[in-house]
A and B are shown apart, each in its own frame.
Chain A
Amino acid sequence: MKNGRIAIPSNGEGGLKGTRAGHFGHCDVFTLVDVMDGQIKEITVLANKEHAQGGCMVPVNLLAENRVNALVVGGIGMRPLMGFRQVGIDVFHDDQRTEIEPVVMDLIQGKLSQIQNDQVCGGGGGQ
């Protein structure tokens, strides 16, 4: 990723040295990383909104309104994944690391893959 804004669901106060939240819908904040010419330009933190059953589109709209281009999750359901795609946010996958910084660096360097439909969370099928 050369240019754009990355969102990382984060615990507590977030930030590049913070840790990732396991469930994006329930995260405390989103750490937003602005990238320009392949370099980190600015780090900001965006508070998440209340989570409610069936409220998958709340974070979708929140991140779209804040001009996010890419999101990195450990897991995601089919509905929010389709929602992010509909608003033009690419969803990338890393379910191994809890630290924010190495995941951000890997995304900038093109080392993360976008999540596929068959990787969504869910039993009978997929949050």
Chain B
Amino acid sequence: MICVFVGKDKTVFSNLEQALIRNHMEIKWIDTGKKLLSLLADHSADTPVVLVIIDGTLPGSTARDLIEQVVMQNPMVNCVATSALSPEKFHEKFEGLGVLMQLPLKPDEKDAQRLVTHLNKIVDMTGSPNK
């Protein structure tokens, strides 16, 4: 299973990266939304991208717009984003896009464990990482 980080500052996601590697996920890094969409379009179904983690401070496009584009292109991909919004505002802004969860701007180890636990639950519920 592949996880793609979308951001320019890798240090922001160091806790998440380590937790996902421990969860046996292959990690890829992308620095623009355009490259993410290109990667998703090219990716084989044999090696599915299961999770996309977006730095909400990424310049160029908003996390919401990028997740909407991902959903339009491949709705089976799970997305999360960092955001400084309140949970209520985040829910309102991202409603309907099926975002796995909101992450703080610099996720810590607890956030990483929370994400891994929830991702595993969702993958288990959908029956297969290909779905």
Contacts and interface: CB of A to CB of B under 8 A. Distances in A.
Contact of A126 (B74, B95, B101, B126): B95
Contacts of B74: 86
A48 to B, nearest CB: 12
Contacts of A120: 96
A44 B131 CA distance: 25
Interface residues of A, number: 27
B126 A54 contact: no
A77 B78 contact: no
Contacts of B118: 52-54
Contacts of B71: 78-79, 82
Contact of A56 (B64, B92, B98, B121): B98
Given A50-B125, A82-B72, A83-B76, A125 B101 contact: no
A124 B98 contact: no
A121 B97 CA distance: 9
B1 interface: no
Nearest to B70: A79
Contact of B96 (A49, A50, A126): A126
Interface residues of B, number: 25
Contact of B122 (A52, A60, A77, A80): A52
Contact of A124 (B78, B95, B126, B127): B95
A122 B121 contact: no
Interface in A88-127: 120-127
Interface string B96-131: 111111000000000000000010011001110001
A55 interface: yes
A35 interface: no
6 contacts: A52-B125, A54-B98, A60-B75, A122-B97, A124-B64, A127-B95
Given A54-B122, A55-B122, 6 more contacts: A50-B125, A52-B118, A56-B75, A77-B95, A78-B71, A120-B96
